Amino acid sequence: MSAKGKKIVEVENLSVGYGNNLVLKDINFTVNTGDIFGILGDSGAGKSTLLKHMIGLYNPFSGDVKIFGESIVNCAEYEKNKLMRSFGVTYQGGALLGSMTVGENIALPIETYTDLNKTDILKRIKEKLALVDLVGTEDVMPSELSGGMKKRAGLARALALNPSLLFFDEPSAGLDPITSVELDELLSRLRDQFNTTIVIVTHELASIFGITDTIIMLSKDAKTMVAEGDPKELREKSTSPWVHDFLNRQEHNKAKQNIKYETGDFL
């Protein structure tokens, strides 16, 4: 029986911010197993802030986040650490440890949290690098990789312990369109092959419409989520002018650019 449909992340009445500055309030949503879930919003809406609170890096003002049914907010520190190890996180720039090679970065969680011997660890490293199309980069230092490669290496590290849940902050940020599409395809492949649940934070509409099953939209002005649902349905049927505008206007602009490009009229 497929596990699809089971709640894997539950965000309940979450209010988050830094210091005395409230960034988002009353956030409620659930992420189901096997979904690619998008967190979308305008610049400064608090997408990455929400993600950082969801993965337990910061404590929220109020509310709760449950991952695999366990609260990451109201738990002892050792339980939180244990819970953190059960999912993978990929950061905007990859966040590879600069003093270690790519292979050592991937080996770090494996060596610490598994009993695998050196041969098996090496095998796992190669397997993860192959999964993200970075074969042969084990001995390369992160500083020698391009932006896209760093993100993929970060993804390989996040997958090192075979998590069934993955958080990805801005997968497309700073990447050219081709690399961006390749990364989107990789995420889709991960979901299809391993039934990995993926939560991505992005403002790329192409990624949103290309790979996500469900999205929530955050608004900087409203300081909360203003829409939730299937991205294509929201684009066509949303009654909120802002949501409609956000999901359509940029897409229209992009379509216009494509037409100009194809006809050589873009100059």
Partner 1 sequence: MQKTLKPNPFVDMVDKIGGAADTIGRDFYFFVCFLGLLLKATKDIIRHPGKLRIKDMLYYMDLCGSQAVPIVLCICYLMGVILGFQFALQAQKVGAEIYVADGVGFSILKELGPFMVAIISTGRAGSAFAAEIGTMKVNEEISALQTMGFSPVGFLVVPKLLAMLLTMPILIVFGDFAGLLGGFTVGVTMMDLTPVAYIDRTFEVLLPSTLTMGVLKGLVFATIISLVGCMRGFQSTSDAQGVGRSTTSAVVTSIFLVVVADAILTRLYTMWGY
Query: For the residues of the chain, what is the DSSP string, one character each?
Result: ---TT-EEEEEEEEEEEETTEEEEEEEEEEEETT-EEEEEESTTSSHHHHHHHHTTSS--SEEEEEETTEESSSS-HHHHHHHHTTSEEE-TT----TTS-HHHHHHHHHHHH----HHHHHHHHHHHHHHTT-TT-TT--GGGS-HHHHHHHHHHHHTTT--SEEEEE-TTTT--HHHHHHHHHHHHHHHHHH--EEEEE---HHHHHHH-SEEEEEETTTTEEEEEE-HHHHHHH---HHHHHHHHHHHHHHHHHHHHHHHT---
Q: Nearest CA to 201 among 223, 216, 179, 221?
A: 216
Is 25 or 124 the residue whose CB approaches partner 1 more closely? 124
Give the shortest CB-153-to-partner 1 separation in angstroms.
Answer: 12
The neighbour count for residue 201, using CB atoms within 10 Å, is: 25
Q: Which is nearer to partner 1, 31 or 55 (CB)?
A: 55
Least distance CB 210 / partner 1 (angstroms): 25
Which of 113/261 has CB closer to partner 1? 113
Q: What is 17-36 written as a DSSP string?
A: EETTEEEEEEEEEEEETT-E
The DSSP bridge pattern shows strands 62-67 and 36-41 to be unpaired
Q: In whole angstroms, how close is the CB of 200 to partner 1 at the nearest point? A: 16
CB of 19 to partner 1, least distance (A): 12
Tokens of residue 218, six digits:
């955050």
- Applying CB under 8 A, the residues found at the interface with partner 1 are 52, 55-57, 81-82, 84-85, 87, 89, 91-93, 95-99, 108-109, 112-113, 154, 157
Cβ at position 81, least distance to partner 1 in Å: 4
Least spacing, CB of residue 66 vs partner 1, in Å: 17
Q: Judged by CB, which is closer to partner 1: 161, or 206?
A: 161
- Shortest CB 99 distance to partner 1, Å: 7
